[in-house]
Amino acid sequence: MKKREILKDPNPVLRAETEDVLSFDGEIQELIDDMIYTMRNADGIGLAAPQVGVGKKIIVAEYETPEKSEDDFPLAVVVNPKIEAISEDDQEFMIEGCLSFPGTELYIKRPKKVKVTALDRWGKEYTLEDEKLLARVLQHEIDHLNGILMIDHIKVVKTLFIGNGSLGQPVLERITNDPQFELLAAFTTVDRPAGRSGELQPTMVAELAAKLNQKTFKIEDINSKEIINQIKSLNPELIVLADFSQIISKDLINLPKYGILNIHPSLLPKYRGPSPVVTAILNGDKKTGVSIIKLSDKIDAGDILSQLEIRIRPRENADQLKNRLAEFGADLLAETVPYYLADEIHPIKQIEEKVSYTKKFSKEDGKISNQPAERVELMVRALNPWPGVYTTVGDKKVFITKSHLDKEKKLVIEIVKPEGKREMTYKEYLAGNSPLTITE
């Protein structure tokens, strides 16, 4: 037996018609052995002959785990299969992958139960009937025999993205690459002066959109009549919002058929407002999360469609946590949308009694003034790079950009940045300066 090349979409062979197997000769036996070997070698659980470039109605499937789960099924060789019955009224969403779509996972709705008649590898008739994983695998692979691919089962939604910062980057990339979305355009704010030079700098979303070759609109006011008319002309069915600083008007909220979905980096109703990630670290929280909400005209108060809770790592800073939440948020959005479009999610209203708010931080919030070591360590993790955590030596600020607590809960300063100078290790700083006195 040998490993055969697995064809990848958009190879036209994957769309071609297949023929019944009429003779179970040595050539067919060799093909079946090769398919089994190829499937196992690729860690697959199903493979159809067209995926290895052969237009015959042959499927191999197998799923066996050491734990012997209820979804396990032994090796099945399925030749000339015919679906005799499916549970039209009992369907479910499940994640599906495909060896012809490496790295792609989609939520696809299929009948839960299926009954298939087929021939085994020797041409003997038999029946397969299942309502677990095998039922889905059989439907997926029989689709291959008919030139149907898993992307044909998804509802493609015309989507517009609005965002600015790092939280929005993985979301934009996911919408671009996920076949369930047709990205019409990205909207982001205009370039702003940045740094000491004051040169105009595009938003992080604008930079990524350019790399992805996506149509991008740079705007001053998302709620202006001109921009709303522009969005109307694109006719989006869904708008996705992440890391955007402007309040969205009711006119825009009501424009798309499926509304606006917002990715918010907290477990709402906790931490509404502009700085949920910073606040979670500053408060010493052990866990946080990300919420997908349907936007309403009240800030961060929309109904919750889904949430994911994660643990905050012991020395994680705000940027690191935000980046992790951004990745989780992109995944959660992709998982949520199929259920949302199929009206299989029941939005949950936020409990107003449990609402807490965050604030916009200023430079003064980063000033150290005899706080305990534990508090300073939280400040350093939470408030870098903005507004920065500092103490004063004479009339100059010294920013602490990295620190940790030792076993005795004493503050250990690792990296500092004296005002007007480069960042340096604390050891370098002490070579020409006295130790900083910053805790109680």
pLDDT digits (tens, 9 = 90+) for 186-238: 999 999 887 777 788 999 999 999 999 999 999 999 999 999 999 999 999 99
pLDDT at position 440: 56
* pTM above threshold 0.75: yes
pLDDT at position 439: 63
Phi-psi region of 311 (alpha: psi -120 to 50; beta: other; left: phi over 0): beta
Query: Angle, nearest 10°, between helix axes 169-177 and 204-211?
Result: 30
Distance, in Å, from the CA atom of 222 to the CA atom of 225, rounded to the nearest integer, reads: 9
Strand-pair partners of 424: 416
Please say whether the structural domain 12-153 has been given the CATH code 2.60.40.1290.
no
**Phi, psi values for residue 303, rounded to 5°:** -65, 140
Distance, in Å, from the CA atom of 350 to the CA atom of 98, rounded to the nearest integer, reads: 38
| Residues ≥6 apart with Cβ < 8 Å to 269 | 300, 301, 350, 351, 352, 354, 355, 356
Q: What is the mean pLDDT of the chain?
A: 95
Distance, in Å, from the CA atom of 45 to the CA atom of 140, rounded to the nearest integer, reads: 11
Contact 383, 402 (CB under 8 A): no
The CATH number of 363-430, from 3.30.70.890, 3.10.25.10, 3.30.420.40, 2.60.120.560, is: 3.10.25.10
pLDDT digits (tens, 9 = 90+) for 263-279: 999 999 999 999 999 99
Catalytic residues: 46, 51, 98-99, 140-141, 144
SS3 174: helix
Domain residue ranges of the chain, discontinuous segments joined by +: 12-153, 157-354, 363-430
pLDDT at position 236: 98
Give the CATH number of domain 157-354. 3.40.50.170
For residue 129, pLDDT beyond 70: yes
pLDDT at position 1: 87
Distance, in Å, from the CA atom of 29 to the CA atom of 141, rounded to the nearest integer, reads: 19
Tell me which residue has tokens 């939440």. Answer: 325
What's the chain's length in residues? 440
Percent of the chain clearing pLDDT 90 (strictly above) = 87
